[in-house]
Amino acid sequence: MRIDIITVVPELLASPFEHSIIKRAKEKGLVEIHLHNLRDYTKTKYRQVDDYQFGGGAGMVLQIEPIDKCISKLKEQRDYDEIIYVTPDAPILTQSTSNKLSLQKNIIILTGHYKGVDQRVRELFITQEISIGDYVLSGGELAAAVLCDSIIRLIPGAIGDETSALTDSFQDGLLAPPVYTRPAEYKGMKVPEILRSGNFPKIEEWRHEQAIKRTKKIRPDLL
């Protein structure tokens, strides 16, 4: 899989892809991530890529021309399955969206800044818009990092223990059940006996019950 990220602050994305599962997925050749600085696509003085909004109002808007130049150059080089814009005014990211995106070959992620991008960018180039939650970040870079992380860990081979991603929260529409490790007792708090019983069908049953209980309590909207 190849992911191209368009940003005005590439520095913000330098670290998130250099550790742990994503780093290993890159080393295994499962994913390539390419950062593109939008400012490389403008010839204006001070490499400006934003301007005032028509109609007035606070906040600058990213201009269409540098975005057009960057996306068009990428599209000349290969076909893209999705061109995603991360923005708070969009449908919220779900595990099902990440599952689908993890099966794609080439995607572009455009990150916004300030008041966002000129509406014509959205109409002309964007095939999918994604918000990572009902709150506003300073820019789309951290949202892009979250989105990439949620996708890359689902690429077959990215996680060593193949079944691990399948037992994550949301994968079956429920929150994950509680987990424990050694010691079996800590300051009087004991690990539930069933988990130490070796009775795997019963353990699975218990985990499912716990997942339902947790989901009912914390996220009843998921049921």
List contacts with ligand ADE (CB under 6 A): 86-88, 112, 131-133, 135-137, 140, 143
* Shortest Å distance, C-beta 114 to ligand ADE: 10
* Shortest Å distance, C-beta 182 to ligand ADE: 38
* Shortest Å distance, C-beta 130 to ligand ADE: 6
The radius of gyration of the chain from alpha carbons, rounded to an integer in Å, stands at 21
71 versus 174: smaller Cβ distance to ligand ADE: 71
If you search the block for the tokens 């990220």, which residue do you land on? 5
Let me know how many helices (H) and strands (E) the chain has, helices first.
6, 9
135 versus 200: smaller Cβ distance to ligand ADE: 135
* Shortest Å distance, C-beta 129 to ligand ADE: 9
Distance CA 48, CA 38 (A): 9
Amino acid at 213: K
If you search the block for the tokens 């019963």, which residue do you land on? 202
140 versus 177: smaller Cβ distance to ligand ADE: 140
Closest residue to ligand ADE, Cβ-based?
Answer: 143
112 versus 177: smaller Cβ distance to ligand ADE: 112
- Give the CB-side neighbour count of residue 166, counting CA atoms within 13 A: 6
Q: State whether residue 158 is helix, strand or coil.
A: coil
* Shortest Å distance, C-beta 12 to ligand ADE: 12
- State the DSSP H helix or E strand holding residue 186, giving kind and residue range, or none if neither: strand 185-186
Q: Are 110 and 6 in contact (CB under 8 A)?
A: yes
88 versus 176: smaller Cβ distance to ligand ADE: 88
83 versus 174: smaller Cβ distance to ligand ADE: 83
* Shortest Å distance, C-beta 5 to ligand ADE: 13
Q: Are 72 and 78 in contact (CB under 8 A)?
A: no
The per-residue b/e assignment along 72-104, b for 16 or more CB within 10 angstroms, e otherwise, is eebeeeeebbebbbbbbebeebebebbeebbee
